[in-house]
Amino acid sequence: MAIDDLSDGEKLPSIRSLSKTLEVNNVTVINAFKMLEQEGLVYTVEGSGTYVRKPLKNYGLMNLEEGDFELMLSGIYPHSKPNVDFASVTPSPDLFPIKEFKESLIEVLDRDGGNAFSYPEIRGYEPLRESISKFLLDNYSINLSVDGILITSGGQQGLDIISKTLIEPLDVVFVENPTYPGAYQAFKSRGAKIIGIPMENDGINIEILKSYLKRYSPKFIYTMPNFQNPTTICYSEEKKRELLRLAIEHDFYIVEDDFLTDLTFNNSILYPVKSYDRSEKVIFIKSFSKIFMPGIRVGFLTVPEDIFKDVYKAKHSTDISSSGYLQRAFDLYLRNGYWINYIENIRENYKKKYDLFTSELDKLSNLGISYIKPNGGLSVWVNLDDDISQTKVYEDCLKLGLATVPGNVFSVDQNSYINALRLSFSTPELDEIPLGFSILKNVLSNIKNEDKRTYMPFV
Amino acid sequence: MAIDDLSDGEKLPSIRSLSKTLEVNNVTVINAFKMLEQEGLVYTVEGSGTYVRKPLKNYGLMNLEEGDFELMLSGIYPHSKPNVDFASVTPSPDLFPIKEFKESLIEVLDRDGGNAFSYPEIRGYEPLRESISKFLLDNYSINLSVDGILITSGGQQGLDIISKTLIEPLDVVFVENPTYPGAYQAFKSRGAKIIGIPMENDGINIEILKSYLKRYSPKFIYTMPNFQNPTTICYSEEKKRELLRLAIEHDFYIVEDDFLTDLTFNNSILYPVKSYDRSEKVIFIKSFSKIFMPGIRVGFLTVPEDIFKDVYKAKHSTDISSSGYLQRAFDLYLRNGYWINYIENIRENYKKKYDLFTSELDKLSNLGISYIKPNGGLSVWVNLDDDISQTKVYEDCLKLGLATVPGNVFSVDQNSYINALRLSFSTPELDEIPLGFSILKNVLSNIKNEDKRTYMPFV
């Protein structure tokens, strides 16, 4: 019997009767129920039994045909611009180091003349690859030669190139659930069968990952171990190491997408999984769009030697090469030693917003929400109680001028249960934050006060 | 019997005997033979009969695994840099309008500050789309609103996005034969079945195109009607119109790749097929890499309304958006009115090279070569007599320090007969051109003087 044959709220047979029917041990049934619950497919009512949880069908990555959410995620709104934007994870332009970067831009023109605009190497401007190699060593203790680095036109292109290199139609790819829609689209566009593994508070659910590894041989797992999008969860070091161990044992790649590792607010140092990798199992994709400037469109990926030629070819057929001029300017910016001060400055600035944001959020704790403090990143993942519909909250907030993102936008399949909001503090000004929360409080209070029966959750 | 079952030089049955065996009219067999000959699969010896021409298997797009040629085509050489470069079609950096463009780059920073580096719209910076819309009207009489234009990170990305939008595995795509390898790779990467239609001196062979249209329903035909790569052939106006008529009749798109239309040397004005298009059948892809600067990485494509959403989505999953900073600077450059003077200047400069190049080439006409003067573009397509091996010429030239591209690098399938060289005059300095031709003369003379029997053509 497939999950689709069951109705929402339908009671499953008892553990005892099921173990009898299937002629298996009680413990086996208990474990199976536990796994279904971890995947969000059923829920248990103490003393009563286990019930089917029919998932929300309206949104989710499967249903993004209209594209509205993608637009919204990119900071472009389908209808009108909201008053307060907790939706887009767009860095604030006033934090961009325009003065210093302008210096580099002009210096490159004076130094290189027309060569600054000729075809750069396909794999990227060599001096920039040197600077990146140094950046990796200084920041993440990753020791990598310039030949293992490919410059891309932003992080998304890294995903596109890896998809072209590794995915043939019907290949299996594992992703975290929820996950980043841009990655999902890149894999889906290549015809991949995409399987979501639930996230927990300290990273991916390793038990479910292991159970899927018995059934599938994925080409790779796509993961964001530090400040994951959308949950802003960081993997524990144990889970990072366990993931790497499994990749070696089962021979799949880890495609590690890193866009915010550098943005910690509590002086802790986070390491990517790539830092532990001694066997070229991790393909590390770095975007500078959020921690530097989106408009620079420079990112990179680290390339295992055995797929280098294929990656190189995919890059060529994607856009020949990334802008040599911006590569040269970014290289000079890094060489001029501006990075450390810059990153300290944005940490300080975003921390101010984060502190205010979380203190405002804490005030709403009695309105059916819960969250874990990420101590970094640019968003907070707010879980909603079962009797509060994320769709309702999202829509009501938008009507009052507050943009949020309902969590199910990031869900990988229709069977996963996600009832949450992603709230980001990167775009709003400091003084807009309380205004946004007054709207959210308003909406949540109204829902709380109205007759619950008129609101079917997940409808 | 498939062509692969026949040996090189094998004589085909006579027209009379074949018409008898197959119980068809003489004329049918004659037409079939004619078509085989047009496709380069057989050749006729007057008064003797028709013979199989076995194609060169060494090179060709099917065999590009090593990637050396792709590197070469991008101006990066597998081994050492040659003394004279007739291979790469890389514009000369000293022709780049660095002074004027620097002005725009700085003006944008002063005007827009950090906004210059924030996320631009997925479909491109609106003022630039306005400028492009004006550019299309002024230069090609193409009347298109800003909403029909998508900015890309160079022309190659236009091909990649169109491939993602239109090609599902096993879909049929028609291309010119020979064609541009970067396009071939983009289509192949999506699993397309690619069919080459031979080029003639005034454009694609319309009869063969029609015969293929009886057997296949292509998603689109990929074409470069003005200064085609690699042949630098321009379609006649009749063929442009006929192609469009067929696209409407058989309901396929024309993907028109335009990278050199502007580069005429005889004051003629060339129009893209898009100029004649009233039914949104033509997707016009423009690259500014060759006529402006490769490093700007800005191109665009025109998007028929019925596929706009899909194209938009493909762009997003490819690289989110193109660099907003370079888009703003290019927009300002166009608005400041620099374009006309610039294009006049490069026409004048390249014409000087072209005149010298063709006069040098004319001196070699008794050494087994022939070509058609393109009166524009950046390359000349030089056909070699049957008894001269393109591979031998290519290799001997390279040994003496002259880089060329053997024509078969651009051939679409192993059965096509191409024996030519693509020689480009964009990279060498004016005074390097005679040196290059002295090497080529040397090589061709040696081949001419040696015992022909020691050279098996196509080996």
In 3D, which of B125, B180, B127, B122 has the Cα closest to residue B155?
B180
User: Which one of B320, B326, B331, B333 would you mutate to disrupt binding with A, by most A Cβ within 10 Å of its Cβ?
Assistant: B320
Query: Per residue in A165-182, pLDDT tens?
Result: 999 999 999 999 999 999
Side-chain half-sphere CA neighbours of A68 within 13 A: 12
- Chain B residues whose CB is inside 8 A of the A61 CB are none
Cβ contact, residue pair A98, B121, below 8 Å:
no
- Chain A residues whose CB is inside 8 A of the B182 CB are 316-317, 320
Confidence of residue A40 (pLDDT cuts 50, 70, 90): low
* Distance from C-alpha of A114 to C-alpha of B93, rounded to nearest angstrom: 5
Query: Per residue in B191-215, pLDDT tens?
Result: 999 999 999 999 999 999 999 999 9
Residue B428 C-alpha, separation from nearest chain A C-alpha, in angstroms? 15
Domain ranges of chain B: 3-52, 61-94+341-454, 116-337
Confidence of residue B59 (pLDDT cuts 50, 70, 90): very low
Query: Per residue in B415-457, pLDDT tens?
Result: 678 999 999 999 999 999 999 999 999 999 999 887 554 444 4
Cβ pair B203, B234 in contact under 8 A: yes
By Cβ distance, the residue of B74, B115, B316 closest to A320 is B74
Side chain identity, residue A168: E
Higher pLDDT, B295 or A248: A248
Query: What CA–CA distances, in Å, run from A157 to A152, A162, A291, B137?
Result: 6, 8, 17, 32
* Mean pLDDT, rounded, of chain A: 89
* Distance from C-alpha of A394 to C-alpha of A414, rounded to nearest angstrom: 19
Residue A98 C-alpha, separation from nearest chain B C-alpha, in angstroms? 6
User: Residues with Cβ < 8 Å from A303, sequence gap 6 or more?
Assistant: A148, A149, A150, A283, A311
- pLDDT value at A2 more than 60: no
Residue B121 C-alpha, separation from nearest chain A C-alpha, in angstroms? 8
**Mean pLDDT on A119-135:** 94
Nearest-by-CA chain A residue for B291: A118
Cβ contact, residue pair A185, B317, below 8 Å:
yes
- pLDDT value at B121 more than 50: yes
Assign domain A115-337 to its CATH architecture.
3-Layer(aba) Sandwich (3.40)
B120 φψ region: left (φ > 0), alpha (ψ -120 to 50), beta (else) = beta
pLDDT at B212: 97
Angle at A400 between CA A396 and CA A405, to 5 degrees: 55
How many inter-chain contacts (A to B, CB under 8 Å) are there? 197
Name the CATH code of domain A3-52 (choices 2.40.110.10, 1.10.10.10, 2.40.30.20, 2.40.30.330): 1.10.10.10
* Distance from C-alpha of A246 to C-alpha of A221, rounded to nearest angstrom: 11
Cβ pair A177, A212 in contact under 8 A: no
Cβ contact, residue pair B70, A316, below 8 Å:
yes
pLDDT at A11: 82
A285 strand-pairing partners: A257, A301
By Cβ distance, the residue of A93, A160, A289 closest to B113 is A93
pLDDT at A111: 96
Confidence of residue A396 (pLDDT cuts 50, 70, 90): very high
Query: Per residue in A48-66, pLDDT tens?
Result: 788 876 544 444 443 444 4
Residue A82 burial (10 A CB sphere; 0-12, 13-18, 19+): buried
The answer to whether domain B3-52 and domain B116-337 are alike in fold is: no
Nearest-by-CA chain A residue for B160: A318
- Chain A residues whose CB is inside 8 A of the B154 CB are 319-320
pLDDT at A47: 76
Cβ pair B408, B458 in contact under 8 A: no
Q: Write down the CATH superfamily of domain B61-94+341-454.
A: Aspartate Aminotransferase, domain 1 (3.90.1150.10)
- pLDDT value at B1 more than 60: no
CATH class of B116-337: alpha beta
Cβ contact, residue pair B93, A106, below 8 Å:
no
Tokens of B307: 């596929």
Cβ contact, residue pair A71, B122, below 8 Å:
yes
